[in-house]
Amino acid sequence: MSDINIKANDHTLRGQYANMMQVSHAREEFILDFMLAFPPQGELVSRLIVSPAHMKRIMNALKDNVHKYEAQFGVIQEAGEPKLLAN
């Protein structure tokens, strides 16, 4: 595969923080919604729509990076379901 130069503006480079994610799918795509869940109102901060083949590559890249992270920093403890704060 040839190299591709990728441009990104400053806003995109800052990134978005998300503390909740929802995944859904249809036959031709996966939809990944990243949200900031903070009372009294949550917010969708980013939505990615990818092909099933690309989703598989994303999963493999995530697994590989979690393995590398844990080899360097130790096992990540899974947290329980988040609890929403009430007013």
User: What is the rounded CA–CA span in Å between residue 63 and residue 57?
Assistant: 10
- In a domain, residue 78? The reply is no
The average pLDDT across 62-84 equals 90
Please tell me the pTM assigned to this model: 0.78
E strand or H helix at 10, and its extent? helix 10-14
**Tell me, what's the pLDDT at 28?**
98
Structural domain contains residue 62: yes
Residue 77 has pLDDT above 80, yes or no: yes
- Total number of domains in the chain: 1
Q: Determine the structural domain holding residue 35 and report its residue range.
A: 16-73
Examine residue 39 and state whether it is found in any structural domain, yes or no.
yes
Evaluate whether residue 9 is within a structural domain.
no
Does the residue 65 lie in any domain?
yes
pLDDT digits (tens, 9 = 90+) for 5-52: 999 999 889 999 999 999 999 999 999 999 998 888 899 999 999 999
pLDDT at 86 over 90: no
Whether 85 is in a domain gets the answer no
Q: Are 31 and 23 in contact (CB under 8 A)?
A: yes
